[in-house]
């Protein structure tokens, strides 16, 4: 490595970024031990964010220096293999590194503290999730158990096979249009600003408020999924692991009427991984063109669960589905130029659903959590009243 390359690497090592990751372990993870591991290593490396630790694996998002996150990944892989007594190749840790946005200050795009929680599941597909027993001391922890009424706990069906972003692209472009359907496993506030849009292939938008509503969406969509090749996706891939397993379980149950899905696929690494290859960087609402722009099958922005709110890698912004709920003008920024930490978002005054409201309309309404003023009407998710946006059954939408 020459001097110039060394300088570049040193700069890259110090850059603050976001790491998004999950892992389902082939054997039960020792949750008390791994809880201590995560707390200790993140503190030592000055990494902040959120991590879920369960007997079936981990799910997390962290912010910190690039070099510290890479070191964390290396140590984490070894720890997972040692904990599960598996060969390294058997631990499928899905790790994605994400850049910060250029239109916001760095310090308000990173996490301010660390939260490591012991949970029953990597993601909670079924509510209510019974919380693990309370800790009586730092080192005394009871191993969490799967909820036995979870339909996929004893299911013989496995999560759907993964397609890499390039395989996903090739499949959708060459797919027989009458045989395919896209299934968005995310919530309504996520799909409101971006989703996969492929000509002649319908996209089923779950339009839920929470992940645990997704099973009811699939049950009410059997007629649309029957006999189809189902292409399922979410933000980073973790939700599709269990959602695709549930869909396969549902298709083999007495509830299913009609032909079973031909195949069920999931996008490896989710939208995040796809946009790394087919998306393009943006600054605010302006996208920088690249050679893959016309190839990209994702329209709009990728909603993320960290202080950035949206990732700087975007799809076709010209086709972004976002619009102001009041005046219907094109709009896809929940924070109207601010950061999530600034608390400028708009929510329904009744159901608290996150809503898109343009800057002009924002000045003339009163959202949830704001002091009421006589000259400003309340903001609702409906035209003039709350319609409980994101109700799992009533808000199924196909585009």
The CATH number for 55's domain is 3.30.70.100
Q: Measured between alpha carbons, how far is 208 from 324 in angstroms, rounded to an integer?
A: 19
In a domain, 299, yes or no: yes
What does the pLDDT read at residue 274? 97
One domain for residues 301 and 172: yes
Q: Can you give the residue range of the structural domain that contains 82?
A: 12-118
Q: Measured between alpha carbons, how far is 369 from 92 in angstroms, rounded to an integer?
A: 42
CB neighbour class for 92 (10 Å; exposed up to 12, middle 13-18, buried from 19):
middle
Q: Measured between alpha carbons, how far is 147 from 127 in angstroms, rounded to an integer?
A: 10
Give the SS3 label for residue 91: coil
Strand order across the 203-205 sheet: 162-163, 263-267, 229-233, 180-184, 203-205, 397-398
**Listed residues 118, 134, 151: the one ending a domain:** 118
One domain for residues 185 and 72: no
Beta-bridge partner residues of 53: 58, 118
In a domain, 139, yes or no: no
One domain for residues 90 and 189: no
In a domain, 108, yes or no: yes
Contact 86/27 with Cβ under 8 angstroms?
yes
- CA 47 from centre of chain: 20
Q: Measured between alpha carbons, how far is 384 from 102 in angstroms, rounded to an integer?
A: 36
What does the pLDDT read at residue 330? 96
Q: What residue ranges of the chain have pLDDT lower than 70?
A: 1-13, 85-90, 127-154, 284-285, 287-294, 373-374, 392-393
**pTM greater than 0.85 (yes/no):** yes
336: nearest Cα among 367, 305, 374, 369: 367
One domain for residues 109 and 169: no
One domain for residues 107 and 171: no
One domain for residues 194 and 296: yes
In a domain, 134, yes or no: no
CATH (domain of 167): 3.40.250.10
Helices (H), 252-377: 270-278, 359-362
One domain for residues 196 and 82: no
One domain for residues 207 and 100: no
Q: Which residues are catalytic?
A: 234
One domain for residues 308 and 197: yes
What does the pLDDT read at residue 96? 96
In a domain, 294, yes or no: yes
**Listed residues 97, 118, 139: the one ending a domain:** 118
Mutual orientation of helices 66-84 and 3-14 as an angle, nearest 10°?
Answer: 70
One domain for residues 312 and 210: yes
**Listed residues 118, 153, 186: the one ending a domain:** 118
Q: Report how far apart, in Å, the C-alpha atoms of 58 and of each of 6, 329, 335, 380, 391 are.
A: 34, 40, 30, 36, 28
In a domain, 382, yes or no: no
In a domain, 4, yes or no: no
Count of structural domains, the chain: 2
Helix, strand, coil tally for the chain in percent (to 5): 30, 20, 50
One domain for residues 233 and 102: no
One domain for residues 182 and 291: yes
Give the SS3 label for residue 68: helix
Longest dimension (CA), the chain: 67
184 half-sphere exposure, CB direction, 13 A CA radius: 33
DSSP string, 221-250: THHHHTTSEEEEE-SSSHHHHHHHHHHHHH
In a domain, 212, yes or no: yes
């Amino acid at each position: 490595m020459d001097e110039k390359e060394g300088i570049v690497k040193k700069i890259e090592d110090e850059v603050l970024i976001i790491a998004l990751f999950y892992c389902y372990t082939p054997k039960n993870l020792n949750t008390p031990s791994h809880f201590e591991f995560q707390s200790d290593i993140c503190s030592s490396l000055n990494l902040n964010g959120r991590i879920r630790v369960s007997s079936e694996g981990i799910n997390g998002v962290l912010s910190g220096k690039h070099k510290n996150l890479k070191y964390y990944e290396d140590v984490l892989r070894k720890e997972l293999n040692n904990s599960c007594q598996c060969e390294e190749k058997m631990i499928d840790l899905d790790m994605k590194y994400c850049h910060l946005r250029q239109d916001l200050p760095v310090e308000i795009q990173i996490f301010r503290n660390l939260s490591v929680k012991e949970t029953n599941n990597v993601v909670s597909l079924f509510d209510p999730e019974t919380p693990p027993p309370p800790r009586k001391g730092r080192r005394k922890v009871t191993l969490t158990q799967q909820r036995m009424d979870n339909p996929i706990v004893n299911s013989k069906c496995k999560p759907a096979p993964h397609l890499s972003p390039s395989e996903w692209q090739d499949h959708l472009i060459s797919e027989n249009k009458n045989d395919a359907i896209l299934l968005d496993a995310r919530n309504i506030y996520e799909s409101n600003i971006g989703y996969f849009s492929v000509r002649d292939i319908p996209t089923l938008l779950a339009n839920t408020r929470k992940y645990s509503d997704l099973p009811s969406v699939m049950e009410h969509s059997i007629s649309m999924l029957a006999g189809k090749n189902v292409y399922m996706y979410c933000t980073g891939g973790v939700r599709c692991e269990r959602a695709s397993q549930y869909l396969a379980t549902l298709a083999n149950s007495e509830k299913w009427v009609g032909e079973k899905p031909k195949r069920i696929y999931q996008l490896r690494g989710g939208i995040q991984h796809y946009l790394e290859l087919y998306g393009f960087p943006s600054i605010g609402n302006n996208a920088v063109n690249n050679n893959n722009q016309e190839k990209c099958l994702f329209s709009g922005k990728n909603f993320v669960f960290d202080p950035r709110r949206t990732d700087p890698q975007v799809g076709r912004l010209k086709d972004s589905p976002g619009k102001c709920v009041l005046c219907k003008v094109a709009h896809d920024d929940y924070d109207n130029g601010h950061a999530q930490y600034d608390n400028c978002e708009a929510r329904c005054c009744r159901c608290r659903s996150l809503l898109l409201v343009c800057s002009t309309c924002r000045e003339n309404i009163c959202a949830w959590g704001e002091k009421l003023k006589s000259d400003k009407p309340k903001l609702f998710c409906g035209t003039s009243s709350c319609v409980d946006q994101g109700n799992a059954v009533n808000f199924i939408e196909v585009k």
